Amino acid sequence: MQLTPEKVWNECLSFIKDNINEQSYETWFLPIKPIKLKKSILTVEVPSKFFYEWLEENYIDLIKTAIKKELGSDGKLLYNIILNSDQKAPYSVEIPSVNQKIKSNPNHSIPIQALDRKFKNPFVIPGLKKVQINSQLNINYSFDNFIEGSCNRLARSAGFAVAQTPAGTSFNPLLIYGGVGLGKTHLAHAIGIKIKELHPEKTVLYVSAEKFTQQFIESIRNNTRNDFSHFYQMVDVLIIDDVQFFSSKEKTQDIFFHIFNHLHQNNKQIILTSDRAPVDLSGMEQRLLSRFKWGLSADLQQPDLETRIAILKKKIYTDGIDIAHEVLEYLAYSISTNIRELEGALISLLAQASLNKKEISIALAREMIDRFVKNTTREVSIDYIQKVVCDYFDLSIDTLKSKTRKRNIVQARQLAMYFSKQLTKSSLANIGARCGGKDHATVLHACKTVNNLVDTDKDFRQYVQELEKKFTLP
């Protein structure tokens, strides 16, 4: 018998009803309507975002058990949230179930004087004799959804090794560095989450360098500097995000230097992230920089095209959404420098499709990207420029990069080089290398040729004008 969303949800309700009181069942479960079942993903409609948040916070374990009981271990839940119930066809948006909870740290004793003075640390949940340190880890940033590619393989492999045996490798400290939106914070959280899974007895703490500094200033103001130091010395795995924030803060660097030494000498793991390599960290004490170099410094680079497509595929799979490959490819070609912006573009596309009742298509993606790229970043990628030029002349990327000297292909290659120089910050050498292994002199020659042909060849001038419109040049 073929499963229907109604049948699956009714079976789930039977299980849920047996495990909660009648009033809760009528309040929170009877209003839910099953609307779609695709593979092992059940979509249900709920009246509001508050309703969704309450279910996720209070009943997710029960719902998860019921879903997996009916749909197997791959069973997933997707919420369709009504945004405007006054319309005949109300607007709605789909949100996936978070489906998991953060792992807690074990209880710890802290100095009695700290409790007496009401030591205010946002990571501590007070108790009578014991306290529990909130790990501050984001459960959505795991190794499972951190896509590996040549851009991050070293950092990911080192992070996974650290998670297996904290402080048991030569990667202590592990410093992960790279530009904005490349996944430093994600990887740092992923390491912490994996450590909690494999070593639940260890206390893991994630904290931004800015928060650490604020706490330290507060401890000086309240005369609890020793308590602040003792608190951080209790931690088994300390993760400090955006350590470049310590730059030029001498007293903060001094206290962190002593905490670092204590943890390292006592075989505790230290994980740091930075937006630049240690050698480029200005305003940092030399003694601290030398300790950053004790372990491994691993960089995160801009993701290549394959990695960007894989990131988007993983994102839509996790969210239970079906999008055509050519649409994902278009997004990946369009945004190349920043994973955060890439995911933001995908979210924007989904929101437009849902709220405006439009099909997710290349046309909608192009409309969204034109605004997104124009408003958030003026630089498009060389990959995207090559794709637009190849689509315009009906060529393949391989043909564009080949050594053929056919006139139409040479002109297309020269146009790709010309627009890459105009629209990106890449060096001439890099542009040439990406356009079939050419040198910088070839790129300069291509740009001069394009300028000359624009002045002398009417058809060629039209090519340039039409391509300019596709790149939304001002």
Least confident of 169-178, 343-352, 394-403, 421-430: 343-352
CATH code (residue 420): 1.10.1750.10
282 shares a domain with 326? no
In a domain, 24, yes or no: yes
CATH code (residue 69): 3.30.300.180
In a domain, 102, yes or no: no
401 shares a domain with 293? no
In this predicted structure, what is the pLDDT of residue 373? 56
In a domain, 235, yes or no: yes
In this predicted structure, what is the pLDDT of residue 395? 86
312 shares a domain with 294? no
Contact criterion met (CB below 8 Å) for 91 and 84: yes
Interval 412-464: pLDDT, tens: 999 999 998 888 878 888 888 888 888 888 999 999 999 999 888 888 888 88
In a domain, 450, yes or no: yes
288 shares a domain with 210? yes
Tell me which residue of 267, 259, 257, 269 sits closest to 296, measured CA to CA.
269
Tell me which residue of 391, 396, 403, 374 sits closest to 463, measured CA to CA.
391
Q: Is the pTM of this model over 0.75?
A: no
Structure tokens at 30: 């009877």
Contact criterion met (CB below 8 Å) for 166 and 271: no
315 shares a domain with 395? yes
- Number of domains making up the chain: 3
Gyration radius (Cα) of the chain, Å: 27
Strand bridging mode 237-241 / 174-178: unpaired
End position of a domain, from candidates 238, 265, 300: 300
End position of a domain, from candidates 96, 117, 135: 96
Tell me which residue of 176, 232, 243 sits closest to 210, measured CA to CA.
243
227 shares a domain with 119? yes
CATH code (residue 129): 3.40.50.300
153 shares a domain with 84? no
What single letter denotes the amino acid at residue 253? Q
In a domain, 17, yes or no: yes
264 shares a domain with 131? yes
How many residues does this entry show for the chain?
474
End position of a domain, from candidates 300, 321, 348: 300
Structural domain containing residue 171: 107-300
256 shares a domain with 153? yes
In this predicted structure, what is the pLDDT of residue 435? 86
In a domain, 420, yes or no: yes
Place of tokens 């420098």: 337
237 shares a domain with 148? yes
Interval 324-334: pLDDT, tens: 888 888 888 77
For the ranges 108-112, 150-154, 364-368, 468-472, the one whose mean pLDDT is highest? 150-154
461 shares a domain with 328? yes
In a domain, 451, yes or no: yes
Mean pLDDT to the nearest integer, 344-361: 77
In a domain, 101, yes or no: no
153 shares a domain with 136? yes
